[in-house]
Every structure is written in structure tokens, then in C-alpha cells.
Structure 1
Amino acid sequence: MFSLASRSLRLSVAGCQASRCSLATVISGSKTSKLVRERLKNDVEKMRNQFSGFRPGLVVLQVRHDSNLYISSKLKAAAEIGIEAKHIRLPSSATQEEVLQSVMAVNQNPAVHGLIVQLPLDSAHKMDTDLITNTVSSDKDVDGLSCINAGKLSRGDLSDCFIPCTPNGCMELIRQTGVSVAGKHAVVIGRSKIVGAPMRDLLLWRHATVTTCHSKTQDLPEQVGRADILVVGAGRAEMVRGEWLKVGAVVIDCGINHLPDETKASGKRVVGDVHYASANQRAGFLTPVPGGVGPMTVAMLMENTVQSAQRFLLRSQSLR
């Protein structure tokens, strides 16, 4: 559990809140992702014209048979941009060896430039997820989850790796604010391989001073209160309260949680890891949930796929 700060800190930030009248500027992931997709569509059209109908190829490998909203959104975005996307479904009875064989077959297919293994793997057999994601060719690892791409990111080789899509989308949203990352104090809550850890690395190599907070952090509200830029990926509904925030902070909420709500047809509502109503009173910029980081994750997957196809074409030209 994240521990709470002292009552004196609460009183202090509450006093600051009383002096703030304006609401935060909403950072729309929906609008920003649309701009990214339009740019990528133009890039793909240029490739098709220059290289005789060439199209970037993407494969989504899934171990289960039920439908998946996230996969549907990825396939829809790919079609819109002009990416040739294929959804491979393996049954839940598939063994780890069968999954690995499917991954290696895609690795060897020159028409595919991006491969993502949809997680979690819903299999009747025990799976080594790290082994499977590391079997994906680093040249096609558009999720940025392999040890090779993660290692390059941690060393600051940003131009020579694929950056995980959610952190990359967060950086794009921060850029949209016009706030310079360099020299700022950034706080990242969460240290997952998919969000927290790569987010820390990205901010660090963009010259921020970065503090990583996690489940063992003792003074979380105090740490949050120092943040010029706050990125939250803790997976706990409305955990971060507005009174914790530094006035004017950039707040990026990666959380997707569900709370009971009888007013909704589904009986629940989607909320982030940040308590939006109170954060809106203190933050300078704030992402909504939904409509914030989520659309950017899909957009950055498309960007990585197009980038992979461009690199493939450059290598092919060099060989010629």
C-alpha cells in the first residue's frame, strides 16, 4: 500500500488549493492521436508511391478465441493508416512451443514489419512470457518489450530502438503542452516493464530529474507534491488526490480502472489512477480518462510499425 503523508502536508496543500481558481487544461489524447494517424497515413502513402505499392505489415498474435476491444482498435487504426494488419489467433490449448513457432514464422516473413504478442497469454499451458516476447525479432518488436529494445532505451539509444507505446504516447502528450521536460522534476508512480520503467528512462534521457515511486514508497503525497511533471501508472483507482499536486503540474494519467456506478448502463464507470475532479483544481495540464493516454498507445504502435517499415526499406536499399 502507498502510505499517506502527515496531516500538516494536507493542510499545507489545501491552503494552496484555496488560492487556485482556474481549471487545468485538458490534454486530449483523442485529438493528438488523430494528428499522429494523419501524419502516418501520409507517410505510408509516400512509401506506396515510391516503392510500387509497398505497405507496412503488422501481425497481432493472440492466444485465446474471444474478441478483444484493444485488438479491434489496433486493427481499425492500421486499416485507416494503410498498414496491412493480420490477426493470428491461437487456441487456448496452444503449447508454448507452438506459440514460439508462430513467432519465429512471423520473424522470417519479410512482408511483416511489426509483431506484437497480445498479453496476457490466455493458455491452458504454463507460458514463459519473457521468453516469448524476447523471441520476437528486435527489428519487429514494435511493442518495445524485448530485452534488446529495453536495454537500448535504458542506455539512451533512443534512435536505435522501439520505445514502448504507452510511455511514448505520454511523451507526445507532454510535448503537446509546450512544457519543456529538460530541467524539470518528474515523478513516475509505478515501475512496470510496460509503463513505469520505460517512462522513467524516457524522462531521464530528455534531461528531467526523475523520481520513481512504487508500493514501498513511504511519503507518496510529499513526492508527488514536488513534481513539475507527474506520470501515474499504478493501477489503483483514483489513488492520487488533487491536494497532493504541485500547482500547475503536468499530470499524465495512465490508469484504466472500473468503479461501480448505477447511473451507467454497464453498472460501472471508467476512471484513472488520479482523482480527476480534485486534480482539475490544481494541475496546469491533465489527461482525461478515457480519451487521454489510451488513444495515444494505439497511435504509437502504428508509429513504431511505420518506422520499422521505413528501416526495412533503408536496409533493402543498402543491400542493393
Structure 2
Amino acid sequence: MQILDGRALSKKIEEKVSQEVKNLKSTCGCTPGLAVVLVGQDPASAAYVNMKKKACDRAGFYSITHDMPESISQEAIEKTIVMLNNDTNVDGILIQLPLPEHIDTTKLLELVDPAKDVDGFHPFNVGRLATGLDGFVPCTPLGVMELLREYNIDVKGKNCVVVGASNIVGKPMAALLLNANATVEICHIFTDDLKKHTLAADVVLVGVGVINLITEDMVKDNVVIIDIGVSRTPEGKLVGDVDFENVSKKSSYITPSPGGVGPMTIAMLLSNTVKAAKMNAKKLLEKSEA
């Protein structure tokens, strides 16, 4: 059994991004800019945004957080997004989810300029992913693919079971695996007999936020386990969706939680923002030469 170390790989990616930032600054005077829209006082969201801010600082980004009260109106958030779409200092826009119930999340995500959609949630980028075209891909599933690549785990022709069908993780994860020529199943809350599906899987990828959902009897020997879920036990310990202690005994590769996929999410956000900055710099150069 080998641990898939997301912390170590995320540091490598962050170092690469930092070098790309230096190159951008020296060649065109551009500094990648990331704007985060944070609504409300959710502690998990605030902590996550703080980690993103620190990562941006380490990489040499320009970053700004628009911290808004939970009672803010839809119109006020929309005005902020339009302003950020038009701000040439901002290459990437991230709307921290979840949003309060009175806010139309879909409308806000669709309002973000697809060229600044570094979270990969705009329908334009979702469509490009589904059809195998280049675009922005949601950071968590993109991080999973980087982890698999780092450890030379080829999913081509493998039976991959994705547990969870969210727009943020499950669906884009399945699309990326399909684009990599894997055989993909998506299981969800209405799936009958989850064990039947996971037992046949060469790779199990799970991200639903249910502690110990995947147990030792649900997987075959030498399975690859990607645990994307994060939950907190009554004792305050962070754990994933997999019974790590017992499932790891049957695994060829497994991600810890925390320390597996989580760090990769922020690393890929940095990578996506640099990608957006390069695209923006190219557009500005073409305009100046026209």
C-alpha cells in the first residue's frame, strides 16, 4: 500500500506556479490576480478562504476578498461580479460556496466571465470539459487527476466508480476520467446496492461527506482509493469517507484525509489562476499590436 501524498505534490505545484508568476512579471509586468467573493459567516468557508489567501501570497499573486454579510442582496453580489469581470487586475473570480438560501447561486455562477472562471463552474467551461475541450476544470477533480498522474496510475480501460454526483466534484470527476479513457460509473444517494458497484471497481473515488461510507468489505484487493470527502467527528477530528485503517490494508494506493486531495484543490486553484493570467496577458498583447 502506498499513500498518495497530496501535501507533497501541492508544494511542487506551488513552486512551479511561483516560478510562472515570476516569469509573467518579468516578461509583461503582469501579476496574476484572484478575487474571492465570500458571503456570510460560515466558519469552514472562512477558514478555506483564509488558506487560499495564504497560498496566493506565497505564490506572489494579487488577491482580494469581498467579504459580504449574509443578509446581502442578490443585486449587490451581481454588481460586485460585474465589477470584477471588468477589472483588468483580476484574472480569476471565485465565489465561495455554499451561499445563503436567498441567493440564486446558479445565476451568480453564470454571471462570471468564463475566461475568469477559475473554479470551472460556468456552463461554458462545464460544456468544454464534457466535450474534451480545453477550459477551466473544477479544482478538486483536477487535483485528483494530477495525483494519479504523479504516481503513474493510468486509468485507461480501468473500472472507475465515482461515489457522489455533485456539480462540484462527482460529475466533473467522471468527465475527466471518461476523457482519460476510463470506464466510469457514477453512484449517488439513490444507487441501489453501492457495494455491488464498488466491489467491481479498480479505482474508487468518493466525495459525499459520510464518515466510513466505504468499508473494507466493499472493495477488492489492490484497489486504488481516492477519498475526497471531509467530515468532522464528534471529537473534532477531520476524517474522510473511507474507513482508512481497514480499507488501506487492501489498497494498492490510497489518499489520506486530511492530507490527500484537500491540498491539491488549492494548488489547482493557483494553477488555474496562472492559466487565466496567461490568457489575459496574451489578449492584452494582441490588442496592443492591433
Q: Contact between 1:65 and 1:89, CA under 8 Å: does it hold in 2?
A: no
Q: Within the alignment, does 1:119 sit opposite 2:93 as a pair?
A: no
Q: Within the alignment, does 1:286 sit opposite 2:258 as a pair?
A: no
User: 1:96-115 residue pairs with structure 2 within 5 A?
Assistant: 96-115=74-93
Q: Contact between 1:238 and 1:273, CA under 8 Å: does it hold in 2?
A: yes
Aligned to 2:144: 170
Q: Contact between 1:243 and 1:282, CA under 8 Å: does it hold in 2?
A: no
How many pairs align? Answer: 286
Distance change in 2, residues 1:66/1:288 (3 Å):
closer
Aligned to 1:69: 47
How far the C-alpha of 1:104 sits from its partner, in A, is 0.5
User: 1:14-93 residue pairs with structure 2 within 5 A?
Assistant: 24-52=1-29, 54-64=30-40, 68-93=46-71
Deviates more, 1:142-151 or 1:192-201: 142-151
> How big is the alpha-carbon RMSD for the aligned residues of Structure 1 and Structure 2?
1.2
What is the rounded CA distance, in whole Å, between the counterparts of 1:64 and 1:138 in structure 2? Answer: 25
Aligned to 1:5: none
How far the C-alpha of 1:252 sits from its partner, in A, is 0.5
Question: Which amino acid letter does the alignment assign opposite residue 113 of structure 2?
Answer: S
How far the C-alpha of 1:219 sits from its partner, in A, is 2.3
Q: Within the alignment, does 1:143 sit opposite 2:119 as a pair?
A: yes
Correspondent of 1:306 among 271, 274, 284: 274
How far the C-alpha of 1:50 sits from its partner, in A, is 0.7
Q: Contact between 1:258 and 1:269, CA under 8 Å: does it hold in 2?
A: yes
User: 1:239-318 residue pairs with structure 2 within 5 A?
Assistant: 239-261=213-235, 268-318=236-286
What is the rounded CA distance, in whole Å, between the counterparts of 1:176 and 1:38 in structure 2? Answer: 15
Which SS does the other structure have where 1:315 is aligned? helix
Question: Which amino acid letter does the alignment assign opposite residue 261 of structure 2?
Answer: V
Cα deviations across residues 195-218 of structure 1 (Å, max 9, x unaligned)?
000000000001001011111211
How far the C-alpha of 1:298 sits from its partner, in A, is 0.6
Unaligned runs of 5+ in 2: none
Q: TM-score, normalised by structure 2?
A: 0.96
What is the rounded CA distance, in whole Å, between the counterparts of 1:193 and 1:82 in structure 2? Answer: 30
Cα deviations across residues 5-49 of structure 1 (Å, max 9, x unaligned)?
xxxxxxxxxxxxxxxxxxx21111110100000000011101111
Which SS does the other structure have where 1:127 is aligned? coil
Which SS does the other structure have where 1:62 is aligned? strand
Structure of larger gyration radius: 1
What is the rounded CA distance, in whole Å, between the counterparts of 1:25 and 1:248 in structure 2? Answer: 11
Question: Which amino acid letter does the alignment assign opposite residue 250 of structure 1?
Answer: V
Superposition misfits of 4+ residues, deviation over 6 angstroms: none
How far the C-alpha of 1:65 sits from its partner, in A, is 5.0
How far the C-alpha of 1:182 sits from its partner, in A, is 1.1
Question: Which amino acid letter does the alignment assign opposite residue 20 of structure 2?
Answer: D
How far the C-alpha of 1:84 sits from its partner, in A, is 0.5
Aligned to 1:192: 166
What is the rounded CA distance, in whole Å, between the counterparts of 1:288 and 1:167 in structure 2? Answer: 16
